[in-house]
A and B are shown apart, each in its own frame.
Chain A
Amino acid sequence: DQQVKQNSPSLSVQEGRISILNCDYTNSMFDYFLWYKKYPAEGPTFLISISSIKDKNEDGRFTVFLNKSAKHLSLHIVPSQPGDSAVYFCAASASEGANNLFFGTGTRLTVIP
């Protein structure tokens, strides 16, 4: 049972434009959400997170939006850069510090120069 879903396996965006990666979840107990970035042959690296008490968190070019009623979150990257090309995973947990992170299947972002 996939509790965290990333329905778009891939996304291509022109350099300088906005990249929007989407993530949906089914478990209403999730209250902490994270995005990880993964390059080939490397482990995922933490990118940005958001707690359910917020609907937006911004860090430089990266902004995560959370819509709890829709059980949906999105990652916006603007402006997109070629170095952003990677696989992006969203993850969710029932509480910060809980061991079990539930991951989505990932979205491969390609930023075209």
Chain B
Amino acid sequence: GAVVSQHPSRVICKSGTSVKIECRSLDFQATTMFWYRQFPKQSLMLMATSNEGSKATYEQGVEKDKFLINHASLTLSTLTVTSAHPEDSSFYICSASTGRGYYGYTFGSGTRLTVV
């Protein structure tokens, strides 16, 4: 079945630094990848949709200059949290689409980011 690998699973960084999170589709080509964020005891919130070879589409309220998304190939999308602040601490999770509707949405295992 479709597998999405997300790395790292946990990261701790200092305020002001940048952190890159990778999302790879291992056995399929993902033309579209999605990035979600989940605060404690809250739901998964869509941050942005990335399409291979084009600019990401950000949801309202998400700062595109702070959360840089690159979808350089059909198997890799990256999310870079720039100038991280403690309020950016959260659980970030990616999802890749196989193009078969919702049945084809495969999620990564998530990244727990802690900014100190």
Contacts A41-B9, A99-B34, A100-B59 hold; do A46 and B46 have CB atoms under 8 A apart? no
Within 8 A of A (CB), among B64-116: 93, 95, 101-103, 105-110
A23–B71 Cα distance when bound, in Å, is: 34
Q: Does B49 contact A (CB under 8 A)?
A: yes
Q: B29-54 toward A: CB 8 Å interface, digit per residue (1/0)?
A: 00010101000011111100100000
Q: Which residues of A contact B25 (CB under 8 A)?
A: none
B30 to chain A minimum Cβ distance, whole angstroms, is: 13
Q: Is A97 an interface residue (CB 8 A)?
A: yes
Q: Is the interface of B mostly helix, strand, loop or mixed?
A: strand
Taking CB atoms, residues of chain B closer than 8 Å to A34 are: 102
Contact among A46, A100, A104, A106 for B103, CB-based, below 8 A: A46
With both beta carbons as reference points, the residue of chain A lying nearest to B5 in the complex is identified as: A43
Contacting pair A105 B107 (CB below 8 A): no
**Contact present for B93 and A46 (CB under 8 Å):** no
> CA of A9 to CA of B41 in the docked complex: distance in angstroms?
8
Asked if A105 contacts B41 (CB within 8 A), the reply is yes
Chain B: CB-nearest residue to A102: B43
Choose from A4, A41, A49, A99 the contact partner of B43 (Cβ within 8 Å). A4
Nearest to A49 among chain B residues (CB) is B102
B43 touches A43 (CB 8 A): no
Q: Which of A17-63 contact B (CB under 8 A)?
A: 32, 34, 36, 41-46, 49
The answer for the CA separation of A106 and B41 in the assembled complex, in Å, is: 8
Q: Measuring CB to CB, which residues of chain B are less than 8 angstroms from any residue of chain A? A: 4, 6, 9, 32, 34, 36, 41-46, 49, 57, 59, 93, 95, 101-103, 105-110
The 9 closest A-B pairs by CB, nearest first: A43-B107, A103-B43, A103-B44, A105-B43, A44-B107, A43-B109, A43-B108, A99-B49, A42-B109
